[in-house]
Structures are given as structure tokens and as C-alpha cells.
Chains A and B, each alone.
Chain A
Amino acid sequence: MYKIKKYKIKNGKLFEIKLEFSDKINDIKILGDFFIYPAEGLESIETELVNCTIKKEDIKKRIDECLEKNSIELIGIDSDSITTAIIEMSE
């Protein structure tokens, strides 16, 4: 299944997720007016999420581990918001 949805974070930025999924994430693109340091970190997060099962704790763990491993800083978006968005889109 393929879905696109926009989210606005309270006191944060606007982001959009393009999600292709079955019982797991087949492909994901995260777009928006947020900031990520270093910029290449966004592709790392997207790559890390491919093949992840659609479970809140699994998704958040993968994102948080990727942030830590690659010293990525998110501004205006966070792992909780991305996780919640993916779960909502899969329901």
C-alpha cells in the first residue's frame, strides 16, 4: 500500500511522509521544512527504516539508534512525530 500524508508539529515544522508498506516498511521518504544536521542524515534514517516492522517501538528504536550512531541532530521534527505519523498512516 502507498500513502502520502502531511503533519504539522506543534511548535515545530511541517513534514510529509510518503510511505509504501505491507506488514513492514518497503520504502519511505520524509519531506518538509525541518532541519537535519548533517543533511545526509535524512537518507540514513530513511534507509534504516526500510524493512522495519510497523510497530511503534521498533520504528522509534531504529530512528533513535540511527540518530545516535550517526550523530544526527533533528530540529523542528523528532523521532516521536515520525513514528506516530507512520503508525497513523498504516492504520
Chain B
Amino acid sequence: MIWRVLELKSFSCYENMAIDEAISEGISNKTSEPTIRFYKWNPSAVSIGRFQSMEEEVNIKNCDNLNVQYLRRITGGGAVFHDSEGELTYSIIGSEEFFPKGIRESYKEICGYLVKGLNRLGICASFAPINDIVVGNKKISGSAQSRKNKVLLQHGTILFNINIKKMFSVLNVSKEKISDKMIASVEERVTSVKNQNPEITFDSLYKELLNSFTEGKEVVFGKLTENENLLVKELIEKYKSKEWNFYR
């Protein structure tokens, strides 16, 4: 089986989520190849989990003021701040048959690629079920998975260089919680690649993770198909819509 790898690029949050969904639909319709992609978010954005409430999770006013976009993902999990310069995101999309049948086991396998890549960079990362990767007891990566029409889509974020103050100005936490005490406590629970080793560059992180995701696989560097691009255009409208983003 040949995996398609898409070039690392920055997109808006709407494009990023539309691309992931369009590829999933293409694979389901047997018109797209299984795909691995790494991407960034520009402008920065907040994505919330499928079952969360936008109004409760996101400080919309601060997002608007800071030019931070926001949208609902099709995957579960929690709200994530995607800093345009502070994180790397991956997606792996393929037929369910290529992955362990059990959801927990498939999280473990795919998160294993991240663990391997981070370990090779000298970061002592390990998988923390259900869907996290930690260094010691600090989270460095979180993932979320959807399964629809026999297609598995898993995407996740790797924290490269976190800006906790900005993160908490766009995520909806009370003023009491954003006190210095709270920020200190978050810093005790979250880490980043730069926190672990300031020498590691974004490019070396990307190359190592690309390597760990693709080794042992037959891969071809490719582009989105015409069908996928058409679907992306349609799906962007869904991801921009109030009906989708505020439906819970």
C-alpha cells in the first residue's frame, strides 16, 4: 500500500479541517489515497472538540481582537490553541483496516510514531492513554480520532513553543483562573519541544516526525486531487458556519 504525503504548509483553520475531512471522504469513496500530512495554522486558531460548546470554551471577543480564528472539529477531545508559530499538527487518514480495530489500541499505535520521533530528538516522551503524550507528567502532545464510513482520521498537535498567556486569553477561563498561580500550575502540567531542548528547531522536529510516521511505509509526495480541492471549497463554508460551530 502506498501512502501519500502532503507537503508541510500553513492554512487557515477552515482550510485545515476541510482538507482533513475531504481526504477522509475521498478515501471512503475510494478516490483518495491514504494520507499523512503535517501542517500549521495561519492565522492562529482555537479548535474545539466535536462535543464541546464554543461559547463555553472560547473567549470569542479576545479571539476577534487578536485575529485568532475558531472552529469546531469533527473529532472529539478538548479545545486546543493552535499558535501559528508555536505548534506542529499532523493528520493520518486511511481505511480502518490499516489500523488496530480497537480505538484505544489505534491511538497507541499512531501516538507511538510521535513518541519515537520525539525520543530520537532526545526528548523522553511517552504515551499517556487515552490520547496524550507526556514528558514526565507534563503534556507535550494531544490527539483526536474520528471513524466514519470505515475511514480512520487521527490528527493531533505537538507543542513546539507555547505562549501560555496568549493561550489563556483565547480559551475561556475565568479571571480567577488566569491568575499567576493558575499560569504557574499550567506550566507545571504542560511542556513544549523548546522547553525540553531550546536547540531543537521547528524544521528538525518536522523532519524527525515525518521520518517516524513514514518509515516502513511506501510513500509518495503528492498534492490534493481535483475532487479533493472541490470538496475542500464546499467544506470550508461548513467550517465557517455558525450552524456548525455553535450547534452545541
Contacts and interface: CB of A to CB of B under 8 A. Distances in A.
| A and B interact physically | yes
Interface of A: 13-14, 16, 29-39, 42, 73, 75-76
Nearest to B76: A35
Main SS class of interface, A: strand
B51 A32 contact: yes
Interface in B29-81: 49-53, 56, 74-79
B248 to A, nearest CB: 6
Interface of B: 49-53, 56, 74-79, 103-104, 130-131, 144-148, 248
A37 B49 contact: no
Contacts of B56: 16, 31
A49 B221 CA distance: 48
Contacts of A34: 51, 76
29 contacts: A16-B53, A16-B56, A29-B248, A31-B51, A31-B53, A31-B56, A31-B248, A32-B51, A33-B49, A33-B52, A33-B78, A33-B79, A34-B51, A35-B76, A35-B77, A35-B145, A36-B51, A36-B76, A37-B103, A38-B147, A39-B50, A39-B74, A39-B76, A39-B146, A39-B148, A42-B51, A73-B103, A75-B76, A75-B104
B103 A35 contact: yes
A16 B144 CA distance: 19
A76 B130 contact: yes
Nearest to A29: B248
A29 B79 CA distance: 18
A44 B76 CA distance: 16
A31 B147 contact: no
A16 to B, nearest CB: 8
Contacts of A42: 51
A33 B77 contact: yes
Nearest to B146: A39
A4 to B, nearest CB: 10
